[in-house]
Every structure is written in C-alpha cells, then in structure tokens.
Chain A
Amino acid sequence: MISLLALIGVYTLAARLLSRPDILPPTEEIGRAFGALLGRGVQLGGGGEGGEHAHHQHHSASQQMDTLLQEGVTLQGALAITTGRVLFGLGVGLPLGILLGLLMGASRRADDYLHPIYTVARSVPPLAFITYIMLWLGHSEAHRLIPIVYAVAVTMVIPTYHGARDVAGKYVEAARALGARGPLLLFQILLPAAGPAMLGGLRYALAIAWMTAVGAEMLMAENGMGNLLVGGGMWSSRFQTRSDPAVIIVGILALAAVGWAMDAGAKVLGARLTRWARR
C-alpha cells in the first residue's frame, strides 16, 4: 500500500520534472480525465501549456477526449462491454479447450493424431486472422469474439492435457482397476486430479483473454476498452488523431484493476476447488 503511494509519488515527481504534459500528464490531469470518463461532465480546463514546441502544443481538452465524450463513451460502459466479451470468450473457450485437453490427455491415440494439428493451430496468433473472419462473417460481433474464444481454448489445452496425463494418469489407472468407469471416472477422478493444473491454466487464460479482447477492439470495434484506448472512430482513421496520454493511462489503470480483480477471483475459486489436494 505504502509502495503504491510511493509509485504515485514518483510518477507525480517525474511528470513535474519533465513538465511535458503531452508525454507524462500530471497526476491531476489523469484524475480529471478519470472523472470526465466516468461521465461526470467535467470539462478539462487549464493546464497543459507545457509543450515548448509548436507541434507539441497540447490541447487541454484533448482531441481524443473530445471524440470519446462526443460519442458518449464512458469508462464504466467500455469496461462493461469488454468484460462481457472476455466472459463470452471464457464461457465458450474454456469448455472447448478443456474438452480437447482431456481427450488428448486421456487417449494416447487421440494425442498422437491431434497434437500435431493443435501445434499448427496454436502457432497462428489469434489477432492475425481477425480480417479473415471478417470476410466470412461480415462486420459483426463475431470477429471480435472468435479470436478471444480461440485464444482461451488454445491456452487451456496444455495445462488440462498435462493435468490429465501426468497427474491424473495414476489415479485413473487405480480407479479403473477398482472398476470405476464412465461419468464416475470423469467427475470423481479425472477432473479433480487434473483440477490444480487446469486452474493454473485458467489464470493464464484470463490474462490472454483480456489481451486478445483489447487487441481485437483496438483493431476493429467501435466500442469497448480497446476502442477507448485508441480514441474512438473506426480502424482506418485510427492513430491519425493525436492521442491523449491521460486517457490512455486511465484506461490502462482500469484494465489493470479489473484484471487484478478477476485473477483474485480465480485464485479464490481455485483454492476452494482444489481443497482435496492439500489434505
């Protein structure tokens, strides 16, 4: 806590020493941007005359902020949209990845055939084929959601696979010898045994899901956090307008906070679900 305050202190000092609000906006300005983005209707006024060169002249109410406010974008609204996309990606991607991981982990034959295909598929970055999906499905929600689902699924396969093969293998064998099969084997033996590894993967998948969602929104979406970061408008006009670092920093802080909260949630969930392992 103290060190967090120190971080803010160091930043404030650095911003003051540099006195270039177009690069490091002073802490107050970030606070004001935060208020404005929450929809308080606060006008950004004053400040920002620090730029020495003409082309560094910083508009106090920046272009990016203007665009966002004009479009009625709020921080909580953008965050809600992105969170929704992340949750969708997790909701569809996790079962897919877990299913594939279990299949590959449980059957050597399936592993031999599927692993090479998985390796090929995994190597293509999800955000790279976003345009290709758009050609097939048109401008819609699909080309933002599919990369997230894909990224989550691909991330989830490996921990599930190792959990099922390396950890649960022994237990499964023992249970089989005792006559367990079918759903009993799956729910009572395989899933709990592979659980800890899968939950480790889940935390990693969370991070990947957020990154993919933000990236997809930066490239092609007219809403969400990624869009807020690059300042509204559509893909072709992106980065033409001058970005406002205060808005970007507020966005990054908000993303970091939500990411932290979700990770903490996953950790609690993990501790609860894998209680058996510590007994």
Chain B
Amino acid sequence: MMTWTKARRAVIALVALTAVYVLAAEIGHGRLPERLWLGAHYVDNVKLLPTWRQLTEEGAFLIESNILVDSVVVSTRRVTLGLLLGSVAGILLGLLTGAASRLEALADPWVAFFRFTPALALLPLFVVWFGYGESSKILLIAANVAVVTFLGAHQGVRGVSRVYLDAAASLGAEGWLRFRKVVLPAAFPSIFSSLRVAAGLAWVTIVVAELVNAQMPSLGYLLALSGAYPRTPTMMIALATIGALVLVFDLLALLLYAWGTRWMERAA
C-alpha cells in the first residue's frame, strides 16, 4: 500500500518533469535565439532547448549509425576496467594496512597526500606518464577508485567492534580464520559503500578524461564534438546516456552492498 503510493508519486514526478521540459522546448521553439556569440565568433542554428521531435530524430540517427552504442561500449569498458583494477588494489591495500598496524605507519603519508588531492588534478600527470592513449584514462580511474576504496577498506577493518574480535578470540578463532569469518564481513558495509562512491567518481573522471584529447568513439568525445559544433540534441542524448549509465552502475553497487551486508539481517 505504502510502496504503491510511493511508486505512483515517483511516476507522476518523472512524467511532470518530462512534460515541463517538452512544453518549455515547444514554447521556446522559434523564440529562443538561434545565433549565439561564443567568445570568438557567432554560431548559427543553435537549439538551446531541442524539441521532442528533434531529440527522437537525433536519437534514431545516433543509434542507427552505431555511434551511440560504440561510444557506450568503449566508455563503459574503460570505467569497468578502471573500477576493477582500482578497487582490487585499493581494497587489498586497505585490508592489509588495516589489519597489520606496522604497515599503517608506512601507508600514512601516502594516504595523507592522496586523500586531499582532487582526483582530476592527476590527469595531466598521467598524460605525461602514460601518454594520451587508453592506459592513462583507465589508470586515472583506477587511481581515483583505489584511493576511495582504500580508505573504505582501511576504516572498515579498523572499525570492527572490539566485541566481535574478543568473542572470536574466546571461541578460539585466530589469524586467517578470524580475518575471513569476522573481520572481513564486519568491514563489508564500509568497503561496499566506498565502492558505490567510487563508481560515481569513476564516471565523473571518465567524462573529463575523454574530453581532453577526445578520441572516437567515446561518450566524452560525443560530448566534446556536440559542444564544438554545437549540436544540442546530440549533447542532450549524450548527457542522458551518461546519466543512465551512472544509474545502472549505482544500482549494481547497491546490489553488491546488499549482498555484502546480508549477514547483518541474519544477525539482527
């Protein structure tokens, strides 16, 4: 009953949002300026608010010409690889430094340094180190993801309640067994919520990484290209596609989180 109301209201809100846009675009059609001054020169025929028809036409073209699908595949591949690489490295290091206090002193300066470095600031450095190609993009994502997941794993292990550890010890669980059966599950919520943050960050990173020295095909290039002409229907569709992908990744991260914290419900 409650969820039914909730779902109905969600649908109403989203339909209203779409309706407002479509209406605004129809009203703006022919009224909004189409000739814009872009700092250095005029551009003609700019549709500030593309109408529904323009959007569907452009969408059909982008899909038929395979541009959109190829871009999605390329960008998603980069994000996925970066996420995998970064989270494996970050989580392993975080678990290690969290569990072995002697390693923590070693890791401290790196954490202090990278924690407050804006993720994107590394981009020019990575271009110098790894070139313009695929590796600098993937490694940039991996580096940013690694920092976030490292902190999540480290804090997760550190935050394991003393009670759990004592209980495990009194039952005779030591070393690897204690780590696998007690510490790791207790750290899961922190690890997986950091993974969710990292997934969002990865998409922010790829958009900028692909805007710089853009290459075909990628969603960043699609955005850069549509901005250069400028061709707003393409821009809108690229934005919507990125948004949809972010939502999908967020949902996957949420599912992972739910899986990692199953034990909490059993315990409760």
A residues adjacent to B (C-beta < 8 A): 3-4, 6-7, 22-23, 109, 112-117, 119-120, 123-129, 131-132, 134-136, 138-139, 207, 210-211, 213-215, 218-219, 225-226, 229-231, 238-239, 243, 245, 248-249, 251-252, 255-260, 263
Chain A contacts for B17, CB-based, 8 A? 117, 120
Per-residue 0/1 for B95-132: is the Cβ within 8 Å of any A Cβ (1 yes, 0 no)? 00000000001101110111111111111110111001
Give Cα distance in the complex from A145 to B68, angstroms.
30
Chain B contacts for A219, CB-based, 8 A? 208, 211-212
Per-residue 0/1 for B183-213: is the Cβ within 8 Å of any A Cβ (1 yes, 0 no)? 0000000000000000000011001100111
Given A138-B37, A138-B38, A215-B208, A3 and B106 touching (CB < 8 A)?
yes
Give Cα distance in the complex from A131 to B244, angstroms.
19
Identify which of A23, A109, A131, A214 contacts B118 (C-beta below 8 A). Answer: A214
Given A112-B9, A128-B207, A239-B132, 17 further pairs, Cβ under 8 A: A7-B110, A22-B128, A112-B13, A116-B10, A117-B13, A117-B17, A120-B247, A123-B246, A127-B207, A132-B227, A135-B46, A219-B212, A239-B212, A252-B117, A252-B125, A259-B117, A263-B116
Stretch of B56-64, B84-92, B161-169, B235-243 that contacts chain A:
B235-243
Give Cα distance in the complex from A239 to B224, angstroms.
15
Given A136-B48, A259-B118, A243 and B13 touching (CB < 8 A)?
no
Residue among A125, A213, A251 facing the most chain B CB atoms (10 A cut-off): A125
Determine how close the nearest CB of chain B comes to the CB of A261; give it in whole angstroms.
9
In the complex, B171 has a CB within 8 A of chain A:
no
Determine how close the nearest CB of chain A comes to the CB of B34; give it in whole angstroms.
11
Identify which of B108, B117, B129, B250 contacts A256 (C-beta below 8 A). Answer: B117
Identify which of B12, B108, B204 contacts A113 (C-beta below 8 A). Answer: B12
A255 contacts B118, C-beta separation under 8 Å: yes
Chain B contacts for A210, CB-based, 8 A? 116, 118
Identify which of A3, A225, A229, A243 contacts B108 (C-beta below 8 A). Answer: A3
Per-residue 0/1 for B118-148: is the Cβ within 8 Å of any A Cβ (1 yes, 0 no)? 1111111101110010000000000000000
Determine how close the nearest CB of chain B comes to the CB of A19; give it in whole angstroms.
15
What is the chain B residue whose CB lies nearest that of A254? Answer: B121
In the complex, B266 has a CB within 8 A of chain A:
no
In the complex, B39 has a CB within 8 A of chain A:
yes
Chain B contacts for A225, CB-based, 8 A? 121
Identify which of A112, A239, A245 contacts B5 (C-beta below 8 A). Answer: A112
In the complex, B149 has a CB within 8 A of chain A:
no
Give Cα distance in the complex from A129 to B230, angstroms.
13
Give Cα distance in the complex from A116 to B243, angstroms.
13
B13 contacts A229, C-beta separation under 8 Å: no
In the complex, B268 has a CB within 8 A of chain A:
no
Per-residue 0/1 for B4-41: is the Cβ within 8 Å of any A Cβ (1 yes, 0 no)? 01100110111001000000000000000000111100
B39 contacts A138, C-beta separation under 8 Å: yes
A-B contact count (CB 8 A): 160
21 A-B residue contacts at CB 8 Å? A3-B106, A23-B128, A112-B9, A116-B14, A117-B14, A117-B17, A120-B14, A123-B250, A124-B239, A132-B232, A132-B239, A135-B48, A138-B37, A139-B38, A211-B119, A213-B118, A215-B120, A226-B120, A229-B124, A239-B212, A255-B121
Identify which of A116, A129, A245 contacts B239 (C-beta below 8 A). Answer: A129
Chain A contacts for B38, CB-based, 8 A? 134, 138-139
Give Cα distance in the complex from A255 to B105, angstroms.
23
Determine how close the nearest CB of chain B comes to the CB of A116; give it in whole angstroms.
4
Give Cα distance in the complex from A22 to B6, angstroms.
58
Identify which of B5, B208, B212, B243 contacts A123 (C-beta below 8 A). Answer: B243
Determine how close the nearest CB of chain B comes to the CB of A215; give it in whole angstroms.
4
B120 contacts A218, C-beta separation under 8 Å: yes
In the complex, B83 has a CB within 8 A of chain A:
no
In the complex, B223 has a CB within 8 A of chain A:
yes
A243 contacts B128, C-beta separation under 8 Å: yes
A131 contacts B250, C-beta separation under 8 Å: no
Chain B contacts for A257, CB-based, 8 A? 116
Determine how close the nearest CB of chain B comes to the CB of A119; give it in whole angstroms.
7
